[in-house]
Amino acid sequence: MGDKFGIIVFPGSNCDHDCYHVVKHVFGRRAGYVWHKETDLSGYDCIILPGGFSYGDYLRTGAIARFSPVMGEVMDFAERGGPVIGICNGFQILTESGLLPGVLMRNRGLKFVCRQVYTRVENNRTVFTANYMRGQLLKIPIAHADGNYFADDDTLKSLEDNGQIVLRYTDSEGNATEEANPNGSLHNIAAIINRGGNVLGTMPHPERGCESVIGSEDGRGIFESVLEAM
Amino acid sequence: MKVEIFITLKKGVLDPQGKAVERALKSMGYEDVKDLRIGKLIEMEIPGDSMEGTERKVQEMCEKLLANPVIEDYNFKID
């Protein structure tokens, strides 16, 4: 496989450039933008659904973007086992499209929360986290109003049982407490993966944690892990 | 035909917005307010006069886009 990242651009995406910058300038790999009306993903080895406010978050976050022409191709790409990363709004689009279970609701505190948080690596046996240690703490920024992960009890249980919870919000000591939960997510869930292990949804922004000059390099492992797998 | 669609949060799903509004009403003196939940009302016009066809169409719209079955229920009225 190659090393080319396809970054999907929806009307209202605003972290597409951050992702492009990280892949291209921090890691020196290939990246290309894919406008949401395109329907050809051949030539790409990993797809990123970036953060932002696709379609103004109208109706529900991610609900309209999920019907963009490119999403059919993204579903096929994922079906074939291709790695897909949804960050923030991208995570919301993945849950709306059914590629990941559950839903991201309005934050418990109703406010947009934009700050560095601590998350703990719960599962490092994934193509996105292999370069981390299990239990490692990552300081990564979040920036969202709708990151409150919800799923019914059966879904939560199967996420837990199958190791699909990849990151959990914790305090600086690594304890997944109620106080360390920035948005009310059930089980302090910050990132999950599908059963097939190739679709990752994360509310924290790894692409904003790749350079020490902006406060953290802890997000690099996600890109390094997937690059090694590619 | 005139269609009104009501989207409501499923029972058991936390509604932080509803809670905030309930608290506001209480602080305004309406202390007996309880179980306040906020939903959405969607209105639309669909040309045609077959009740059955319109019903089927609206149901499809709700299932595909307008409601998220993980957290929401829907109901509609057609005139």
Residue whose entry in the numeric block shows the structure tokens 């932002």:
A52
Is residue A7 a contact partner of residue A36, using CB atoms and an 8 Å limit? no
Q: Could you tell me which chain B residue has the CA closest to the CA of A66?
A: B65
pLDDT in tens, A138-180: 999 999 999 999 999 999 999 999 999 999 999 999 999 999 9
Question: What average pLDDT does range B5-16 have in this prediction?
Answer: 93
Cα gap A138→A142, rounded to integer Å: 12
Nearest partner of B79 among B45, B40, B41, B53, judged by Cα: B45
Alpha carbon A200 to its chain centroid, in Å, reads: 6
Give the number of beta-carbon pairs within 8 Å between A and B. Answer: 34
Number of C-beta neighbours around residue A225 at 10 A: 20
Q: How far apart are CA A92 and CA A89, in angstroms?
A: 5
Tell me the ipTM for this assembly.
0.85
Of B13, B20, B71, the CB nearest to A110: B20
User: pLDDT 10s digit of each residue in chain A, 230 long?
Assistant: 688 999 999 999 999 999 999 999 999 999 999 999 999 999 999 999 999 999 999 999 999 999 999 999 999 999 999 999 999 999 999 999 999 999 999 999 999 999 999 999 999 999 999 999 999 999 999 999 999 999 999 999 999 999 999 999 999 999 999 999 999 999 999 999 999 999 999 999 999 999 999 999 999 999 999 999 98
* Torsion on CA atoms B4, B72, A62, A221, rounded to nearest 10: 180
Q: Which distant-in-sequence residues (6+ apart) come within 8 Å of A168 by Cβ?
A: A119, A120, A122, A176, A187, A188, A189, A190
The DSSP line for A84-133 is EEEETHHHHHHHHTTSSSSEEE--TT-S-EEEEEEEEE----STTTTTSP
Contacts B66 to A, Cβ<8 Å: 59
DSSP 3-state of A229: helix
What's the pLDDT at B49? 80
The residues with which A119 forms a beta bridge, in sequence order, are A138, A169
pLDDT for the residue numbered A2: 82
A109 contact residues in B (CB cutoff 8 A): 16
Q: What pLDDT was estimated at residue B9?
A: 95
- Per the DSSP assignment, residues forming a β-bridge with A104 are A149
For chain B, the domains span: 2-78
List, for residues B11-63, the tens digit of each pLDDT value.
989 898 999 999 999 999 999 999 999 999 999 999 988 999 999 999 999 99
Residues A54 and A61: their CA atoms lie apart, in Å, by 8
CA distance B10 to A1: 44
Tokens of A129: 């986290």
Within 13 Å of residue A79, how many CA atoms lie on the same side as its CB? 8
Identity of residue A203: M
The kind and range of the H/E element at A153 are helix A153-161
Contact (CB<8Å) A59/B65 = yes
The highest-level CATH class for domain B2-78 is alpha beta
The rounded percent of chain A whose pLDDT value lies above 90 is 98
The reply to whether A46 belongs to the active site is: no
The answer to whether residues A97 and A66 touch, using CB atoms and an 8 Å cutoff, is yes
* Selected residue of B13, B14, B44, B60 to mutate for chain A interface (largest A Cβ count, 10 A): B14
- pLDDT, position A1: 60
Q: Give me the domains of chain A, ranges plus CATH numbers.
A: 4-229 (3.40.50.880)
